[in-house]
Structure 1
Amino acid sequence: MPIRPENRWLYPIDWQQLSHSVRFTRAGARCERCARPHRRRVAHLGDGRWWDAGAACWRSDRGKRVAIKGGFTLAAVRMTYVVLACAHLDHDPGNNAPANLKALCQRCHMLHDAAEHRWQRWWNVYRRRGIRDLYEDPRITRARLASR
């Protein structure tokens, strides 16, 4: 995931090398949670199960081999392009200990950061409402709501 410009100063100068080391040297260019390969198109069912073409088997969202029971419709299969990112497990960009960093694909990274993203969404709405309350005339806002 790209680093926001306002958060760039939180990361060390050698972040590119550190991230590369975690993603490719330690993880072997595979997600450390689900084992999806970096820069490959992967067929998946949307619930975490994906087709591992190298091993010719279906894998779970944790990278374990699974048997598909009951089958599935071909329309349920989707393709996605996998890109690895280096994630901070404690969400602190200042903590760059090897045990705190993990190579995750975009799906696993989004699942890992879901609570943080929900909080950020709430904070943005809260902040915008506060700014609106400071600068907008409440009579205009009430009139606008009444006209809907």
Structure 2
Amino acid sequence: MPIRREHRFFYPIDWPQLSALIRFGRAKGCCEGCGRPHGRIVFHLGDGRWWDADAGRWRDGRGRRILLASGADILGHVRRTRIVLAAAHRDHDTANNTSTNLAAFCQRCHMIHDRPEHRRRRWRTLFRRKALGDLFGGPYA
């Protein structure tokens, strides 16, 4: 996953090699959160359940095998997604690049992992906008 230009100086120079080592060396090309394979198109139901073509069965959002009700009509809900692995910092500290702090996550697992950080940033952005509005536009109506 590309790094934004303004955040590049937070990562080490050898980040592409370190990321590849985690994603394809240690994780062997599969997400460490749910087991989805890198580079393949995966059929999923949008709620975390996905079809594991190698094993020939459905899995949940954590990669555990599940059974779907045989009478359930799922064909109308099936979506396709190409899986791309990314190396994520477990503690969100880009300076801590130890192998225990790095994980290979698919898009879904990476977003779930970063959800608290995204919420914090969203709150901060909205708080700053409100403060600027109070400073220059007066109190809100």
- Please say whether Structure 1 and Structure 2 have the same fold, judged by a TM-score greater than 0.5: yes
Cα distance in 2 for residues equivalent to 1:86 and 1:7: 15
Aligned length, in residue pairs: 140
For 2:15, the equivalent position in structure 1 comes to 15
Q: Secondary structure at the match of 1:76?
A: coil
Specify the alignment match of 2:108 in structure 1.
107
Point out where structure 2 has 5 or more consecutive residues left out of the alignment. none
Give the aligned partner of residue 64 of structure 1. Answer: 64
Q: Could you say which residue in structure 1 is the equivalent of 2:122? A: 121
How far residue 36 of structure 1 moved from its aligned partner, in angstroms, is: 0.4
Where do residues 45-84 of structure 1 align in structure 2 (5 Å cutoff)? 45-70=45-70, 71-84=72-85
For each residue in 1:3-49, what CA deviation from the matched residue of structure 2 results, as whole angstroms up to 9, or x when unmatched? Answer: 23222111111111000100011111110111101111111112211
Percent same amino acid at aligned positions? 54
Computing the radius of gyration from Cα coordinates, the structure with the larger value is 1
**Whose helix proportion is higher, 1 or 2?**
1
Distance 2:85 2:132 in 1: 37
Q: Secondary structure at the match of 2:69?
A: coil
TM-score (norm 1): 0.87
Q: Provide TM-score, normalisation by structure 2.
A: 0.91
1:96 paired residue number: 97
Give the partner amino acid of 1:82: I
Asked whether 1:43 is paired with 2:43, we answer: yes
RMSD: 1.6
Q: What's the offset of the Cα at 1:80?
A: 1.1
Secondary structure of the equivalent of 2:86? strand
- Does 82-91 or 71-80 show the bigger shift? 71-80
- For 2:51, the aligned partner's letter is W
**Partner-residue secondary structure (3-state), 1:22:** helix
Q: 2: CA distance between counterparts of 1:106 and 1:81? A: 9
Mapped pair 1:2 → 2:2? yes
- What is the SS of the residue equivalent to 1:19? helix
Q: Can you list the C-alpha shifts for 1:105-141, whole angstroms capped at 9, x where unaligned?
A: 00000001111101111101111222222233x38x6
Cα 1:100–1:56 change in 2 (3 A) is same
The residue type paired with residue 63 of structure 1 is G
